[in-house]
Structure 1
Amino acid sequence: MATEWDCFETDLGAKAWMPSVRFRWMAGSTRFTGLLVRLICLIFIEGLCVESLLTRAHADEPASSATDDSVPDSKAESSTTQASPSPVIEVLGKEASTAQHAFYETDRSIPLEARTVERIAQDETIREKVVFRGVQGFLVPGYLQYATDVLKPRPCVLLLHGWSGSKEHFWKDGGYISGGNIRTALLAAGYAVMALDAQCHGDRIAENDFAPVNHFVDPEIEGIQRKGYFTQQEIYIQTTRDYRRAIDYLETRVEIDANKIGVFGYSMGGAQTFLLTGVEPRVKVSVACATPADNSKFSSIAPQNFAAEIGQRPFLMLMGRTDTMCPVEKAQALLDLIPAAHKQLMFYEAGHRLPVDYVPQAVKWITTHLP
Structure 2
Amino acid sequence: MRRVVSTYRPCMIRSVTLSCALLCGLAAVPVRAEQALEPVGDEAYAVMARSFEYEPAPPMPRFDELREAANGRVRKIVFTGVGTRRVPGYLELPLDGTAPYPCVILIHGMSRSKEFWWSFGTTTEGKHKDRLVGQGYAVLGLDLPSHGERAAENDYLNPAVLLQAGAASRLHDLFTDSVVEHRRAIDALLTRTDIDSSRIGVLGYEFGGVVAFALAAVEPRVRVSVACVPPTVHDRLSVLATQNHAPRIRTPFLMLMGANSPSSTQAEAEQLHGLLAASPAELKVYTSDDRLPIWYVGEAVGWFATHLKR
TM-score category by the smaller chain? 0.7 to 0.9
Matched, 1:127 2:66: no
Q: Which residue of 1 aligns with 2:236?
A: 297
Of the candidates 76, 98, 101, which is equivalent to residue 46 of structure 2? 98
Correspondent of 2:195 among 256, 263, 268: 256
Deviation at 1:149, TM superposition (A): 2.6
| 1:341 Cα offset (Å) | 2.9
Q: Among the aligned pairs, what percent are the same residue?
A: 38
Matches of 2:28 and 2:170, distance apart in 1: 13
Instruction: State how far apart, in whole Å, the 1-side matches of 2:150 and 2:27 are.
Output: 21
Shift of 1:131: 0.5
Q: 94, 98, 108: which is aligned to 1:147? A: 94
Provide the rounded CA distance (Å) in 1 between the counterparts of 2:194 and 2:306. Answer: 21
Q: Could you tell me how far 1:94 is from its partner in structure 2?
A: 1.0
Tell whether the 8 Å contact from 2:20 to 2:263 is kept in structure 1 after alignment: no
Comparing both structures, which one devotes a greater share of its residues to helix?
A: 2
Partner of 2:215, secondary structure, is helix
Q: 1:16 to 1:234 in 2, by over 3 A?
A: farther
Instruction: Spell out the pairing of 1:219-258 with structure 2 (5 A cutoff).
Output: 231-258=170-197
How many residue pairs are counted as aligned between the two chains?
289
Residue 56 of structure 1 corresponds to which residue in structure 2? none
- The higher-RCO structure (CA 8 Å, 6+ apart) is 2
- 2:139 & 2:178 partners in 1: Cα distance? 17
Structure showing greater radius of gyration is: 1
Find out whether 1:183 has 2:129 as its counterpart.
yes
Number of the residue aligned with 1:169: 116
Any conservation in 2 of the 1:8–1:15 contact (CA below 8 Å)?
no
State how far apart, in whole Å, the 1-side matches of 2:199 and 2:225 are. 11
Residue 156 of structure 1 contacts residue 260 of structure 1 at CA under 8 Å; is this kept in 2? yes
Q: 1:201 aligns with which of 121, 137, 147?
A: 147
- Does 2:246 correspond to 1:307? yes
> 1:307, CA displacement in angstroms?
1.1
Distance 1:153 1:16 in 2: 47
**5+ long unaligned stretches in structure 1:** 18-83, 220-226
Distance 1:245 1:358, change over 3 A: same
TM-score, normalised relative to structure 2:
0.87
Amino acid at match of 2:181: D
Question: Are 2:55 and 1:107 aligned?
Answer: yes
Deviation of 1:115 after TM superposition, in Å, equals 0.9
Residue 258 of structure 1: CA displacement?
1.2
Q: Give the secondary-structure state (helix, strand or coil) at the position aligned to 1:316.
A: strand
Of 251, 274, 280, the match for 1:342: 280
**Hey, what's the Cα distance between the residues in 1 that align with 2:93 and 2:179?**
23
Relative distance call for 1:211 and 1:334 in structure 2 (3 A) is same
Instruction: Say whether residues 1:15 and 2:27 are aligned partners.
Output: yes
Q: Distance in 2 between matches of 1:205 and 1:295?
A: 29
Equivalent residue for 2:299? 361
Q: 1: distance between equivalents of 2:86 and 2:235?
A: 31
The alpha carbon displacement at 1:185 in A equals 0.8
Deviation at 1:215, TM superposition (A): 2.5
Structure 2, unpaired ranges of 5+: 1-16
Alpha-carbon offset, residue 256 of structure 1: 0.7
Q: Offset at 1:148?
A: 2.5
Give the direction of change, closer, same or farther, for the CA distance of 1:206–1:345 in structure 2 (3 Å limit). same
Query: Root-mean-square deviation (CA), in Å?
Result: 2.3
Give the CA deviation at 1:106. Answer: 1.4
